[in-house]
Amino acid sequence: MPEIHVVQKHNRHLYERYFDPYFQLRHDIYVKQRKWMALDRPDGREIDQFDTDHAVYLFCFDEGQLIGAMRALPTLSPTLLSDIFPYLSMRGPIRRHDVYELSRVFVIPERRGEHAGPRVETLLLTAITEYGVSIGLTSFSIVLESWWLPRFERCGWKAHPLGLPRMMDDMAVLAVMVDCNEATWRSLCRQIGRTGPILTWQGLSGVNRQLLPDISPLHSPTVQPAQ
Ligand code: COA
């Protein structure tokens, strides 16, 4: 089973060697494959103004290889919604301590659409939900292409639109809020066949977080048979 690590400013030094390949992968995926040419840079790395000390990354590794990732930004700091796509939110920018914005989710092409085990993408959604619940988030904001909505629906993520979709490069793009709570996390754990937390918090013992429970049926309260 792949491992998913939380990486942020306090433990980034432990993962420094992965950052250059990570930004190269983002360039390959978003610029070369997806043709998001606004993100192009001559050095072949896709790095934007939100890759700062505020960013939190989930890195998914399998046998030491980075096979997928996701980025989370506190909404009290600048986000894609506040600085690039403010017109997608009818309520104005989201700036809340209990909401992080998600972006740059990807799985390397060779590991997409897997059916032998849980999809790497579902592992990442489970992991970010675990991260959110652990640090007390109640929602994620996301600027996304509309094809994500049925996928979220299928995995039990409840998405609430913040405004009307806009066509961009022939694609309907909108901003949503997604609920982040323990019930969603438990449901995702069941979908991926796990009975407890999956995140690795290497070097982050100083982070104030709630420890999530084992949800194995063996640890459920005993049900007494009716007399
Ligand atoms: N436009 C429309 N649909 C898309 C899509 C796109 N750009 N990318 C994926 N999908 C749909 C596929 O059509 C497919 O649907 P199907 O299974 O009904 O045929 C489904 O999503 C599965 O996609 P696939 O890529 O085969 O596998 P996955 O579920 O393991 O991975 C992603 C999904 C999004 C993680 C992966 O496609 C990826 O990394 N894409 C590049 C990065 C990206 O575009 N991220 C989103 C913006 S940040």
Q: What's the CA-to-centroid distance between 165 and ligand 1, angstroms?
A: 19
Residue pair 198/4 in contact (Cβ under 8 Å)? The answer is: yes
Q: What's the CA-to-centroid distance between 216 and ligand 1, angstroms?
A: 31
Give the whole-number percent of the chain exceeding pLDDT 90: 90
- How high is the pLDDT of residue 219? 56
Ligand 1 nearest-atom number relative to CA 108: 39
Of 10-14, 113-117, 169-173, 212-216, give the lowest mean pLDDT range. Answer: 113-117
Residue pair 36/77 in contact (Cβ under 8 Å)? The answer is: no
Average pLDDT score over the chain: 94
Closest CA to 121 of 46, 175, 67: 67
Residue pair 187/153 in contact (Cβ under 8 Å)? The answer is: no
Does the pLDDT value for residue 68 go beyond 90? Answer: yes
227 residue type, one letter: Q
Quick check: CB of 112 below 6 Å from ligand 1?
yes
More confident residue, 85 or 221: 85
Per-residue pLDDT reduced to its tens digit, 86-99: 999 998 999 999 99
- How high is the pLDDT of residue 222? 46
Ligand 1 nearest-atom number relative to CA 124: 35
Ligand 1 nearest-atom number relative to CA 68: 39
Question: pLDDT confidence of 223, banded at 50, 70, 90?
Answer: very low
Distance, in Å, from the CA atom of 79 to the CA atom of 50, rounded to the nearest integer, reads 7
Per-residue pLDDT reduced to its tens digit, 100-145: 999 999 999 999 987 778 999 999 999 999 999 999 999 999 999 9
Q: Which residues of 37-68 are buried (b: 16+ CB within 10 A; e: fewer)?
A: eebeeeeebbebebbeebbbbbbbbeeeebbb
In this structure, the residue with its CA closest to atom 14 of ligand 1 is 113
Residue pair 99/139 in contact (Cβ under 8 Å)? The answer is: yes
Per-residue pLDDT reduced to its tens digit, 9-56: 999 999 999 999 999 999 999 999 999 999 999 999 999 999 999 999
